[in-house]
Structure 1
Amino acid sequence: MNSSNIQFKAQQRGFNLVEVMVTITVLAILVTLAAPSYTTFIADQQIKATSKEIVRNIQYARSEAVSRNAVITMGRTPGSANKAWEGGWQIYVDATPTGNSAFAAATDTMLRTVVRQAEGVTLSADNNANNWVSFRRDGRLLETAGINNVVFAVCDGRGTDSGRAITINSIGRAQITDNPASCNP
């Protein structure tokens, strides 16, 4: 064997500068394309989470009305703007038999307090639930005679196309639907 015919090749390890630059360029293009979709995804998730949170609390208030055999009221946080519930709400045993009254520490029992919802998400109620929603001892909605539904709208800056409506029917069941008629019902 002739040693002059044997060639030793150093094995290449790693990447050269051109390969690294091409990879970074492709990655930058992909991130640029994905960023708007990711932002929309996050905004959609905030709307879904807020919708589920309000429904979960409506179901809790209704369940407590039945299990405690008492009127339970869910009222927006005192000091919130008219029909605006995104600042939070309180759920309490309402000593007033007709319900729909503000929390009175002397006579009512606080069950739950929920604080502000996601930033940039609005949670508005129609005139039927401007300040509060009450449930009878049997779990039915306790609102003014002739009112069949209470509607909440969950929206963000994109408007009704991305929003959700939560409707509480007269028997107290809450339902979530997409694309509310208005972000301020």
Structure 2
Amino acid sequence: GANWSTGWLIYVDADTDGSRGAGEELIRVGEHDGSPAIRQTAAIPISYQGTGFRSRGQPETVFDFCDDRGADYARRVTVNLVGRHTVCHGPKSPGEDKCAVDELPECGG
């Protein structure tokens, strides 16, 4: 599935259906205990073709990593079409880089 809040799988999707099926090689399991909370803008998997480009879904996927201490400690990670990521933090202050975000609504900010 595409719910990242409890962890993730890295596998070879031999039949390109977006789900791990019987016999498809499991490469790595990433477990997540729920802290910080992970919220994503869309419940989609991130998958790549042999060329290195995304094979399905939207061109970029956004994850918010929420912290119990509040939005000041939250981070937003954006993964683009070729797998590069950008890490932003909130809230934005005057003179801060354009990556900082004014609000992280998924984190209560």
TM-score with structure 1 setting the length: 0.45
- C-alpha deviation, 1:132, in angstroms: 1.6
Distance in 2, Cα, partners of 1:184 & 1:164: 11
SS in 2 for 1:184: helix
Identity, % of aligned pairs?
Answer: 26
User: Which string of whole-angstrom CA distances, capped at 9 and with x for unpartnered residues, describes residues 80-111 of structure 1?
Assistant: xxx4x2311110000133x5x221123x1100
Higher CA-based Rg: 1
What aligned pairs does 1:22-171 form with structure 2 within 5 A after superposition? 76=2, 83=3, 85-97=4-16, 101-106=18-23, 108-117=24-33, 120-127=35-42, 130-144=43-57, 147-171=58-82
- C-alpha deviation, 1:175, in angstroms: 1.7
Paired AA for residue 27 in structure 2:
L
Quick check: 1:123–1:155 contact (8 Å CA) kept in 2? yes
- Which segments of 5 or more consecutive residues in structure 1 lack a partner in the other structure? 1-74, 77-82
Distance in 2, Cα, partners of 1:96 & 1:174: 27
Distance in 1, Cα, partners of 2:51 & 2:78: 19
Distance in 2, Cα, partners of 1:137 & 1:183: 35
In the superposition, relative to structure 1, how do residues 112 and 136 fare at CA in structure 2: closer, same or farther (>3 Å)? same
Residue 184 of structure 1 is matched in structure 2 by 106
Q: Quote the RMSD (CA, aligned, Å).
A: 2.3
In the superposition, relative to structure 1, how do residues 115 and 183 fare at CA in structure 2: closer, same or farther (>3 Å)? farther
- C-alpha deviation, 1:142, in angstroms: 2.1
